[in-house]
Chain A
């Protein structure tokens, strides 16, 4: 049972003080609408947002955006699964379409991190942790990632400077990504001199806070057949782990990332080597390396050594600049990732690097791998 993506779009991740959630979401579908040959008439609207209740004092976001889009008599859903909300929303759309409940589904991811001060955003980010027993200690994914960085460096004998290869590569990659929030190079000095967030992690080990919205149009096979070029969702799966890293038996493998990726490749019936382009969830530098090792692109402890010019093994990784430089507007991030790999399959994104490719994948997780989703896309025509 497959579904197909026929159009996508994304706004540049930035600070949009002049736009509210609804306006940014609607802005994100303008390009998507131009690329389809028929009126935009989805039978389902799925909105992915992590924090709209807290940032905008708003629930029922999907119903309200449908109202502003002039959509009536359709199914509306708002999906929240932590930072993995984007791919969770895609999974809902895929399920609705592949089960023939609907023929056309519009997915929009939107969050506005610039609407609140940084300390408030740090608080909202800590909501990813169990509020009864973990968050109450002041623990957040940032402090967990800092602990993982120290354990990773000690276990595999890396210095802090050795980790610079990741943010450096991400900032190189984002230079020609039109929707990236940060489009500038960084130097080893700027890396080491950026403010400490949670030692050893500094500002340039983390993602920038910004506003973003991205959209996908997911349709059934008979609708997709009317288009010259289209892309199928070949695999889409998820997995989960315990919420706090302290209870994990193996701190340096994200089992949810590993398991969801294995399941997704199995659904797509392909080997890892078939993937020439993968977008991963690199909310913090150590997490990027642990994800690469969890999905099998590098042996344990080898990712920093193996990464060269955005390639690891036979795959290009995070050509967008990743969360580090493209940005991480929480609920929209997974949608940006799919927009990027979809556009690459059509030859409209990073073609000079990738050429023509048949398969591409994305991995979208919450916190330090508490929940993870993976998707494999294939160019059909």
Chain B
């Protein structure tokens, strides 16, 4: 079954999807993702856009078995609530680790992975998932 996602849609969102561009509010000093023109907490438009280090911590996670079309071959799929070093939180897949080895507080980092395949002959879309952090010595 075709997923029929637009290539242009992925391309125009590349900074947010691949570089984790987020918003920082200069007034209330809070960060949020995805970026917006106004602060989601205080409503200020005194916003600057920044790029995340890609490192964060798992706050909670779930193993999903009823996956939507486009994700069925990834089932069971782990979705994590991840708090990034910069203070914002996001929801994303956790990979390269068995679900039973994941724990809250585990350090993770962004990795580029295959997200969606548009059928057997369609485009392959890549995106950010999170894997256990490999500390560099």
Which residues of A line the B interface, CB within 8 A?
118-120, 122-123, 125-126, 130-134, 136-140, 142-144, 146-147, 150-151, 195-200, 242, 244-247, 249
Contact = CB atoms under 8 A, between A and B. Distances in A.
B40 A138 contact: no
Nearest to A145: B62
Contacts of B69: 119-120, 122-123
Chain B: interface size category: 35 or more
Contacts of A118: 66
B111 interface: no
26 contacts: A119-B67, A119-B68, A119-B69, A122-B66, A125-B68, A126-B68, A132-B13, A133-B13, A133-B17, A133-B33, A134-B91, A136-B115, A136-B116, A138-B64, A138-B93, A139-B91, A142-B64, A142-B66, A143-B62, A143-B64, A144-B91, A197-B65, A198-B65, A244-B91, A246-B90, A247-B89
Nearest to A119: B69
A147 B60 contact: yes
B81 interface: yes
A150 B69 CA distance: 25
A198 B34 contact: no
B29 interface: no
B35 to A, nearest CB: 9
B106 interface: no
Contacts of A123: 68-70
A5 B65 CA distance: 42
B79 A247 contact: no
A122 B79 contact: no
A198 B63 contact: yes
Given A132-B13, A138-B74, A143-B62, A247 B68 contact: no
